[in-house]
């Protein structure tokens, strides 16, 4: 008997890395999972690698696009008949630059993918969860949701904002059987890290290795976190047994944030 038997989940940006690890652990615990991402090709690849048959389904979604995020939620309900768990995992560091040089384009793009996508997905999901009086919403924040590093103004303020949004939403639906939590991972060496971090490191004037150390040295464990460590928390929060854990900013950062 899986811990998520009979549950339906949708996870944004889940063809690879953290989202993918969450999809896999949910599937292994008996849930039906909608995997999503921008690229249909990567979606097909993920489905074939996960080999979960009809329990996994791919829906393409670019998380910067409001109508695509909202449609993803509705299509999940259409496909699997309901929605129990939403993991708003898409996001990323982009266009690192001092605030004085931050462009509107980069600022707005980051705002959409990190914060607005979380808001759009959450609002739409609540439309389905409130009538059924049950649901689990998990937003992927970051330790940068509590900390700060130069040149990461868009990412940092978006993740701080997600933490605020999560707490408010938790209080709004706290007596309706719905929990809303954020997970705050430390550095995880995902594809996104290797794609975006070289440019970010350059802006910071450090090597890629030094940039990674900047994130891991303040940790107690002196190493990056893993996708599996994040997925384990995402599983726990999704369970029926976690009904009284809400509005929580759950750290998976190896002891980096002291608060």
Return the ∠ at Cα 144 (arms to 143 and 148), rounded to 5°. Answer: 130
Look-up: residue for tokens 């690890």? Answer: 21
Q: Is there a contact between 182 and 141 (Cβ–Cβ < 8 Å)?
A: yes
CB of 20 to another protein, least distance (A): 16
Give, as one character, the DSSP assignment of residue 54.
G
CB of 75 to another protein, least distance (A): 29
Q: Which of 171, 194, 205, 210 binds another protein (CB under 8 A)?
A: 171
239 lines the binding site for another protein (CB under 8 A): yes
Burial 156-190 (b: 16+ CB within 10 A, else e): bbbbbbbbebbbebbeebeeeebbbbbbbbbbbbb
Look-up: residue for tokens 């893993």? Answer: 226
Nearest to 9 by CA among 113, 112, 81: 81
194 is catalytic: no
Q: Which of 35, 50, 52, 233 binds another protein (CB under 8 A)?
A: 233
1 lines the binding site for another protein (CB under 8 A): no
248 lines the binding site for another protein (CB under 8 A): yes
170 lines the binding site for another protein (CB under 8 A): yes
Residue 41 or residue 133: which is nearer to another protein going by CB?
133
- Cα 139 to Cα 182: distance, rounded to the nearest angstrom: 5
Choice among 26, 155, 194, 259 that is catalytic: 155
CB of 113 to another protein, least distance (A): 25
Q: Which of 48, 51, 53, 244 binds another protein (CB under 8 A)?
A: 244
Alpha helices in 176-207 (DSSP H): 191-204
**How many residues sit close enough to another protein to count as binding (CB under 8 A)?**
40
Residue 172 or residue 202: which is nearer to another protein going by CB?
172
C-alpha Rg value of the chain to the nearest Å: 17
Nearest to 162 by CA among 150, 144, 176, 186: 144
Residue 60 or residue 242: which is nearer to another protein going by CB?
242
- Cα 179 to Cα 183: distance, rounded to the nearest angstrom: 13
Task: Convert residues 179-218 into a mask of x (bound to another protein by CB under 8 A) and - (unbound).
Answer: -------x--------------------------------
246 lines the binding site for another protein (CB under 8 A): yes
Q: Where in the sequence numbering do the catalytic residues fall?
A: 155
Applying CB under 8 A, the residues found at the interface with another protein are 167, 170-171, 173-175, 186, 219-223, 225-226, 228-230, 232-233, 236, 239, 241-259
């Amino acid at each position: 008997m899986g811990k998520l038997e009979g549950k339906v989940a949708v996870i944004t940006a889940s063809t690879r890395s953290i989202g993918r690890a969450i999809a896999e652990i949910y599937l292994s615990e008996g849930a039906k999972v909608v995997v999503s991402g921008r690229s249909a090709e990567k979606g097909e690849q993920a489905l074939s690698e996960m080999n979960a048959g009809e329990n996994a389904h791919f829906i393409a979604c670019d998380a910067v696009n409001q109508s695509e995020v909202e449609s993803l939620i509705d299509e999940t309900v259409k496909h699997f008949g309901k929605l129990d768990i939403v993991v708003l995992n898409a996001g990323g560091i982009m266009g690192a630059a001092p605030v004085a040089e931050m462009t509107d384009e980069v600022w707005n793009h980051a705002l959409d993918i990190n914060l607005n996508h979380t808001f759009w997905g959450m609002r739409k999901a609540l439309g389905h969860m409130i009538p059924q009086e049950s649901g689990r919403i998990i937003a992927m924040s970051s330790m940068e949701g509590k900390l700060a590093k130069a040149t990461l103004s868009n990412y940092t303020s978006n993740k701080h904002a997600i933490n605020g949004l999560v707490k408010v939403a938790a209080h709004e639906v706290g007596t309706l059987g719905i929990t809303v939590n954020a997970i705050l991972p430390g550095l995880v060496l995902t594809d996104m890290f290797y794609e975006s971090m070289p440019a970010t490191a350059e802006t910071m004037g450090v090597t890629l290795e030094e940039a990674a150390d900047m994130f891991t040295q303040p940790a107690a464990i002196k190493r990056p976190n893993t996708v599996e460590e994040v997925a384990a928390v995402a599983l726990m929060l999704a369970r029926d047994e976690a009904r009284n854990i809400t509005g929580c900013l759950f750290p998976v950062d190896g002891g980096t944030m002291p608060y």
